[in-house]
Structure 1
């Protein structure tokens, strides 16, 4: 018996669905029951075709089945879905529009980290535990705190119709649409952290729309913990107090209105009246009070930050190294820096091998079919 082959068999056996016999699994894989039994026990190897069929049937990854480790280059995507009141379902109608942007991000990571990007830290499934990791007043610099303390990359880019999170190997990446609505960006960031923390990218959990509810619940408990919300004196708060609360929690009037309703908290009439206003209008009306350091300029700064294109420094640094080594296209670095490719310094290829490597880096970007397959997971939500 070969120990390594036996380990492959053990991993496959661990994915056998409840109620499925080995005989049935053998049929699905195009194997005889005896051949499958011997392979599972390390007495023969699996062919690549057999492994592919088994992976499809078990919902497992071939790389993991063979090595016991996550594929460092595997891409899995989840999207924030909008509620469609007409059809009473969550939907991602802009998927086709977003494919080009997502493809560019994925191509940049794959070129920057040929062997797979470094792993992000494992996130706690409890939003309160994650809140503790981020530290007090994390909303003020939410994106920076997520990157620095969690090792989750934040990409902020124009042209997206919704927000996404993805895993490339063991690296967690959140891609946000640029928007002056900083409170929306905060909620999307918290929502996508929920997808990552709850394992909605592992390829094994349910990938239908029911993942959206848990991700929203995670975001609510991260930004508006029930105990802290309940401890506020809502029956005594006025409009100015509400504006202050929204500013420091980083949420919208709509998000707070929904949270109060979910917790069955009835606020003072002044708060109820104020909650019908848009968030920018309410906060700017009270921007010159003593608690708002910087006044309306502080509000504008948050709008600018949420509207500004952002590419993680770890990605830019890695692209610099690969471009300088002649392994990656300078076009990818130009995209990351948002400059014309003529401004990128890169070594001229001095032989055909280097030239071929550069051409290959461009040609091996994710195809439309690749993206369609990756995004099929998010569309099925």
Structure 2
């Protein structure tokens, strides 16, 4: 039986990966020590999702409460399954700009050092395995903010006929920009993943995600834009819009569509690849546009406040150009659009509240 090891297995992308690969006939080893509750408080805990996975899949899903920075524990696990592991999906991370600035040491050790521990364990014990890393568009820092942008009624938009009209591709530089400390730690991890592919010939890829979202997201104010927005719309809690008149634009990709992209890469892997991956022109919105959709789905108005203090290094407009990935894997397609994503998030949150 093929075996996949998934870090952050109780989180959004990790748990989606568990569901996907169990259904493909894999045995899944999940690593998650619920650091999300440490980062964002008990309301962001992923323990509920771990319990769902264990109850649903039994022996097909084996959970390990391990910190990815614990080299000894990670190496012991890799060694125990060295002949079985054919795929590593690394989703565990400290994912917030703001939190990183509060505790740079933890942010960097989780995002960068933890990735190094996993890469080296892969090289030592299962070097033929495919290694997939969930990177971020924040590796480009604030460079996207210097693109020629136009202010429209509900969003910022790139100037017509610009080279990035279809979205930002992998040609954008990661240098000479302000990344936030979170972005810097993810750059370090991203480059390590590339280097293990190029230097050691390992089958590695960094997927530089836009907004990753879906019904299993434990959204919090500092991370999980659509899930937290929907949570506030349902509950009546006050939402805060940070800067840019609420017209900042993000592309949003459903967790299933991202994991399906991982599967395509796994089937025909390459060495040291980078891919921009997100909702692209297929699924994107501004904050104001997302609020309107949430209000329509829930049937009531969102209570929100606005502050001009945008988050440092935050993007004004970011849409991914997924053309490179499509050129390598032309059979990959989106399953979800923005409306479907938000409807799924709504029904999942209502279901959890009433269960």
Q: Larger Cα Rg: Structure 1 or Structure 2?
A: 1
Relative to total residues, which structure has the larger strand share, 1 or 2? 2
TM-score in terms of structure 1 length: 0.26
Relative to total residues, which structure has the larger helix share, 1 or 2? 1
